[in-house]
A and B are shown apart, each in its own frame.
Chain A
């Protein structure tokens, strides 16, 4: 079993990863998906629906969520937003949170249920929930 980054495709034959590349893969916090070498017919599947090691949501989703949060809360451009920032950290109250969720619903064309809504406290969780709902919908 080998870990590959989202942008990097290994052929089925055994390839020794150059040291540099290996460091790049392990040092950055990229989305990693484990790939079974022997199963698929020569082409490793990069879907993250099986194992999710580190962050489960795609980077684009997290970025879009950050964008919407930023716009909603009118944050200055230099304010740092990481996936772990909670909404209360950014000065949002519960009304703001509902508005943010509404914005997300509109952007991703999903419907968030009441009980799911209460669990969302940080950006990562929002992105995960969005991914899950989008996957369920399709």
Chain B
């Protein structure tokens, strides 16, 4: 199985997820992505078992892939008016 990710890798994944969240054109999805990554990383903060940590990390990476693809797809259908929350 995968080896335990280092602290840098975990933080790098966190940063990538936050950066990908910024690329969404839809306000709701953007906020959700940010909220969800923060919640998930905080929830898993205290994990100590290397297998669990590696599993959570792999899960995060696959979610990052999903988010990136979806960001591209959503940008094709970007809304022309801003959401009221952004004004």
Residues of A whose CB lies within 8 Å of any CB of B are: 93-95, 98-99, 102, 106, 114, 117
Instruction: Describe B's contact surface by its main secondary structure.
Output: helix
**0/1 string, B41-61, CB within 8 A of A gives 1:** 110010000000000000000
| Interface-central residue, B11, B12, B38, by most chain A CB under 10 Å | B11
| A93 contacts across to B, CB distance below 8 A | 45
- A94 and B38 contacting across the interface, CB-CB below 8 Å: no
Residues of B whose CB lies within 8 Å of any CB of A are: 7, 11-12, 14-15, 18-19, 22, 38, 41-42, 45
- A94 and B11 contacting across the interface, CB-CB below 8 Å: yes
A-B CB contacts (within 8 Å), total count? 22
A106-B22 contact in complex given A95-B41, A99-B38, C-beta closer than 8 Å: yes
Q: How far is the CA of A102 from the CA of B19 in the complex (A)?
A: 8
- B22 and A95 contacting across the interface, CB-CB below 8 Å: no
A94-B15 contact in complex given A99-B38, A106-B22, C-beta closer than 8 Å: no
| B11 contacts across to A, CB distance below 8 A | 94-95, 98
| B14 contacts across to A, CB distance below 8 A | 95, 98
A68 → B minimal CB distance (Å): 14
A47 → B minimal CB distance (Å): 32
- A94 and B7 contacting across the interface, CB-CB below 8 Å: yes
Q: How far is the CA of A102 from the CA of B14 in the complex (A)?
A: 10
| B19 contacts across to A, CB distance below 8 A | 102
| A106 contacts across to B, CB distance below 8 A | 22
| B22 contacts across to A, CB distance below 8 A | 106
- B15 and A98 contacting across the interface, CB-CB below 8 Å: yes
A124 → B minimal CB distance (Å): 22
* CB-based nearest B residue for A103: B18
- A95 and B15 contacting across the interface, CB-CB below 8 Å: no
| B18 contacts across to A, CB distance below 8 A | 98-99, 102
| B15 contacts across to A, CB distance below 8 A | 98, 102, 114, 117
Can you list the 4 inter-chain pairs with the closest CB atoms, starting with the nearest? A102-B18, A98-B14, A95-B41, A98-B15
| B42 contacts across to A, CB distance below 8 A | 95
